[in-house]
Structure 1
Amino acid sequence: MTAPGFDAITSSDLFFDDEHHMLRAQLRRFVEEEIKPHADAWEDQGHTPRDLLRRMGELGFFGIRYPQEYGGSEMDQRATVVLAEELGRSTYAGVAITALVHTDMASVHIFNAGNEAQKAKYLPGVIAGETITAVGITEPDAGSDVKGIRTTARRMGDHYVLNGAKTFITNGVLGDVYCIAAKTDPQGPPSQSVTMFIVEKGMEGFTVSRSLKKHGWNSSDTAELSFVDVRVPAENVLGQEGRGFYEIMKNFQNERLVLGAMAMGEAQAAIEMTVDYVKTRRAFGAPLWDKQVIRNRLAALAARVEAGRALIYATAARAARGEEVVREVSMIKALCGELVNAVMYACVQFHGGMGYMRESAIERLARDARVQAIGGGATEVMLEEVAKRM
């Protein structure tokens, strides 16, 4: 099915060019042929299979923003938005977030802060889908408040000794390489004491302490990580010691743009399937679509989704030109995280009892959407970021 408004917006030259249109068409075919027929099983097993991730690497989806020398295609933030939106439209947000954490929330730390040796070592496998990445920032007492990190890394000769724990880590169970934030100067100013490290699975003292069960995103694996006297080579420092806070903040802008685009893809899919449902579901002698209150509410939500997408597209275009977009990205995260939940609430309502059944795609979408107002920056934190810039 063609998404309402899809042709009108994305066929224009305002935000996208032919390369982006080709990527969107390729992704849409991939979702229909290689995700949707199998993803119910992945929901049950609790993770997205490595075969699918390797396939995405083979098709070039993991390298769209990376240089050709590592196997990438050197596209810009607009391509990231296309990737996130189309994976969101799949209706399997667990699959989407598995891929997007790898491409736009974890491996980007290696690309942005890594030296040439680190990039050459890791990025080819990342882009091929052979090396899956995760990022470890969140702790029991530190989520949006990055300065509250308690994991420590103490320099000892040519190694750092890492101790602490991370939680809510997507790709935490099945990942291969982890970008971990730790304090290298626990007594120093919070913004100057955090350092990012590359930690590989198998390092002694590094364990996945628990696989977590979630309200949604069931086809993504989520874990608690434990670090007990893990000896991390000094050559695995990402960027400069003590500059990790700024690297994290820098990438949050990309992460929040991605999550906003993913949310609008989910919202678009929900509206499409609900319109189809109410046009065929009969009640009181006529299709539900004949009820003006239902038509009007869906139309209003569709307008809000189009507005959210337009803000995302415009912001991605500005980011691609190198402009400062912290304010706009914070708006996107707050707006779209709340909007996708408003869309899901209405769409479940219009599905009636079927919308509450686990066999219904709209029920899965509603569960998966809830975290969009929390992860990557809670709505309340994002609104404060906007307010600071008003």
Structure 2
Amino acid sequence: MSSKPVVPFSEPPYLAGLPSPYYKETHLRWQKACRQFISKHLLEHALEWDTIETLPEHVFQTFAKAGMLLPSLPAPLPVEWLKKLGIHDFLGAVKVEEWDYIHTMIYCDEMARSGLAGPSGSLTTGISFGVPPIIKYGSKQLQERYLPELLTGKKRTCIAITEPEAGSDVANIVTTATKSPCGKYYIVNGAKKWITNGIWADYSTMAVRTGGPGPTGLSLLVVPLKGYPGVTTRRLKVGGQVSAGTTYIELEDVKVPVENLVGVEGMGMKYIMTNFNHERLTIAIGATRQARVALAAATEYILKREAFGKPLVEQPVVRHRLAKAGALLESQWAWVEQFVYQMTQLPKETADIELGGLTAMVKAQSGIVLNECAQCAQLLFGGNGYTKSGQGELIERIYREVPGVRIPGGSEDVMLDLGVRQLVKNFKAKTAALEKSGGSRL
């Protein structure tokens, strides 16, 4: 926590001098070390690197050698594997066995302090979403083949779910994986689109159709990418998060050993949905920080910018616009904190059921709030906020990134609908269980 006055909206309340019930000494110690490392190795040049659309390779290597890619994994961490690889703590601030989701939240929040999702996403998206299914569901043999290099950053991976004709509609994925006559290989054919980090990835944890139509026909497969026969990748130009390496992957008769199956054939939909919970929550955390960066920049701007003979902050209409966006921002952050705290208190199986639908909703709401805050900032910056250079450059960039929160990881309307459906499903299940036991609904 800084002793200097904090610009309104620029920091979460716990870093602005206000009390919070969520953060223990281990969290505060981690936040301080985390901010120092990320500021030095990422934030100083984040806008510059995002402008040229690619981070230098040494940035990934610096994070990998320091173990600073691993905090993007879901909590609790794979402690046994990390210790086997000689990884016992992060930056000397927190032991791997002490790690909880509040540490994860702090990491995601700090990584987004540039205001841009691309620079941090270029480093962490692959390991954050591509590795967990191997940890959770992969056989011992599969883990031993891939985890040592993936967890240490010697190799890179990505998660490949989305297809040209199947985005949020995961159940209708059409990429096929058919067993070869000898039974030793899956022959994979199809295409994946909008795959973050795919252009740099050595492997992909990929959703494929091993069975009939619908969700029961889906499986997860570790598919080699870089330089592998039958695999073609090309980078896609997208409106925001441009440095994260969005990729189109084509697969033509790609031979993948059957040992690369993750878990059980036909269980892919369950694995994907569970994996989405972590993805959606981390998107929500990062997007909320992006909204904070935008609103804080707007606050600083209206304090110094003059119009009609006085600073903009003295115009009631300006304060009103800022207040509305600020209320949304702080409400969203309070929900994120509460949500993450609940994850630290519930058993994993319970959290997946009780918080699954809410995860979709908190992710959707983060995009709505980011849109409001980025739009507010752009309007308060005026022409400067619409210019790709100068003092409003970052605001212009953040506003361009809003769809990158509202669409990936499950598009906004689908997420809102999913959230309510899951809540209703849970309510009906609990009601039926209560009636079966002879209890009262009241």
Q: Where on the TM-score scale, by shorter chain, does this alignment land: which range?
A: over 0.9
Once residues 273 and 17 of structure 2 are traced to their aligned partners in structure 1, the CA distance between those partners, rounded to angstroms, is 30
Alignment partner of 2:357 out of 323, 327, 332: 327
| 1:70 and 1:120 in contact (8 A); partners too | no
Once residues 223 and 150 of structure 1 are traced to their aligned partners in structure 2, the CA distance between those partners, rounded to angstroms, is 18
Alignment partner of 1:91 out of 88, 104, 115: 115
| 1:110 and 1:118 in contact (8 A); partners too | yes
Residue 240 of structure 2 is matched in structure 1 by 216
Letter in 2 for 1:249: M
| 2:172 and 2:215 in contact (8 A); partners too | no
Alignment partner of 1:205 out of 218, 230, 236: 230
Once the two structures are superposed, residues 72-106 of structure 1 have per-residue CA deviations (whole angstroms, 9 ceiling, x without a partner) of 52422222222222222222210122234123222
Unaligned runs of 5+ in 1: none
Residue 348 of structure 1 is matched in structure 2 by 378
| 1:62 and 1:126 in contact (8 A); partners too | no
Residue 80 of structure 2 is matched in structure 1 by 69
CA shift for structure 1 position 264: 0.3
* 1:229 matched to 2:253: yes
Once residues 126 and 79 of structure 2 are traced to their aligned partners in structure 1, the CA distance between those partners, rounded to angstroms, is 18
Once residues 102 and 20 of structure 1 are traced to their aligned partners in structure 2, the CA distance between those partners, rounded to angstroms, is 25
Give 1:119-268 correspondences, 5 Å limit.
Answer: 119-156=143-180, 157-185=183-211, 188-200=212-224, 201-208=226-233, 210-268=234-292
CA shift for structure 1 position 287: 1.0
* 1:34 matched to 2:60: no
Alignment partner of 1:374 out of 382, 397, 407: 407
Q: Cα gap change, 1:140/1:10 in structure 2, threshold over 3 Å: closer, same or farther?
A: farther
Alignment partner of 1:52 out of 43, 59, 79: 59
Letter in 2 for 1:206: V
Q: Cα gap change, 1:15/1:278 in structure 2, threshold over 3 Å: closer, same or farther?
A: same
Q: Cα gap change, 1:10/1:379 in structure 2, threshold over 3 Å: closer, same or farther?
A: farther
CA shift for structure 1 position 131: 1.8
CA shift for structure 1 position 251: 0.9
CA shift for structure 1 position 18: 2.3
Q: Which has the larger radius of gyration?
A: 2
Once residues 294 and 376 of structure 1 are traced to their aligned partners in structure 2, the CA distance between those partners, rounded to angstroms, is 34
Once residues 8 and 229 of structure 1 are traced to their aligned partners in structure 2, the CA distance between those partners, rounded to angstroms, is 53
Deviates most, 289-298 or 224-233: 289-298
CA shift for structure 1 position 63: 2.1
Letter in 1 for 2:223: V
Letter in 1 for 2:68: F
Residue 81 of structure 1 is matched in structure 2 by 105
Once residues 67 and 204 of structure 2 are traced to their aligned partners in structure 1, the CA distance between those partners, rounded to angstroms, is 22
Aligned length: 387
SS of 2:244's partner is: coil
Letter in 2 for 1:372: V
Once the two structures are superposed, residues 89-134 of structure 1 have per-residue CA deviations (whole angstroms, 9 ceiling, x without a partner) of 2222101222341232221122122122322332233232222221
Deviates most, 292-301 or 58-67: 58-67
Residue 26 of structure 2 is matched in structure 1 by 19
| 1:46 and 1:218 in contact (8 A); partners too | yes
Q: TM-score under structure 2 normalisation?
A: 0.83
SS of 2:242's partner is: coil
Residue 305 of structure 1 is matched in structure 2 by 329
Letter in 2 for 1:251: N
Once residues 291 and 127 of structure 1 are traced to their aligned partners in structure 2, the CA distance between those partners, rounded to angstroms, is 52
Deviates most, 242-251 or 9-18: 9-18
| 2:196 and 2:246 in contact (8 A); partners too | yes
SS of 2:165's partner is: coil
Once residues 17 and 304 of structure 2 are traced to their aligned partners in structure 1, the CA distance between those partners, rounded to angstroms, is 29
Q: TM-score under structure 1 normalisation?
A: 0.93
Letter in 2 for 1:179: T
Deviates most, 256-265 or 97-106: 97-106
Once residues 66 and 329 of structure 2 are traced to their aligned partners in structure 1, the CA distance between those partners, rounded to angstroms, is 29
CA shift for structure 1 position 172: 1.0
Letter in 2 for 1:318: Q
Once the two structures are superposed, residues 297-320 of structure 1 have per-residue CA deviations (whole angstroms, 9 ceiling, x without a partner) of 212222211111111121122223
| 2:12 and 2:333 in contact (8 A); partners too | no
| 1:55 and 1:129 in contact (8 A); partners too | no
